[in-house]
Amino acid sequence: MRIFFAAAVAALVASYFTWHYAEEMVGAVVLIEDFLSLRLHHNAGVAFGIRLPGGAQTLLIHLALVLVFILAIRSDRDLLQDTGYGLILGGALANIIDRAPDGLVTDYFSVGAFPIFNVPDVCITIGVLFIVFTGLRKGGLKE
């Protein structure tokens, strides 16, 4: 369980520092021409900028966070799986904290035509991949 909390704290800390840098940016920072740049964007929606009506968005975000925490507690003690749950929890908490003052999440990674995203989104995605990989490795998706 320690790795779970360590991963969550690491995701929160990384998110804080990148968020702070992004808020201070003036204009786009091109890293790879026409492909990768840092560009400040404030997102009122959830994944891919999808906006849900009224309080449904906040309710679903918080329910998902509680579900992830319950699944993490009930999971096997597997290093990769615990890390995955920690990354998801830390990334989700970072986005909730970012959203709290004004209802907006600060996004800043721009990759090609893909929607702009942030470090917490990366943490959540990697966490999900770790959990899926663990399930596949343990034969959890057999036919």
> Catalytic site residue 102?
no
d(CA 52, CA 46): 8
What's the one-letter identity of residue 96? I
Which among 76, 78, 82, 121 is annotated as catalytic?
121
82 touches 72 (CB < 8 A)? yes
> Catalytic site residue 107?
yes
CA 48, 54, 58, 59 dihedral sign is negative
Which among 34, 76, 78, 107 is annotated as catalytic?
107
d(CA 116, CA 108): 6
Annotated catalytic residues are 107, 121
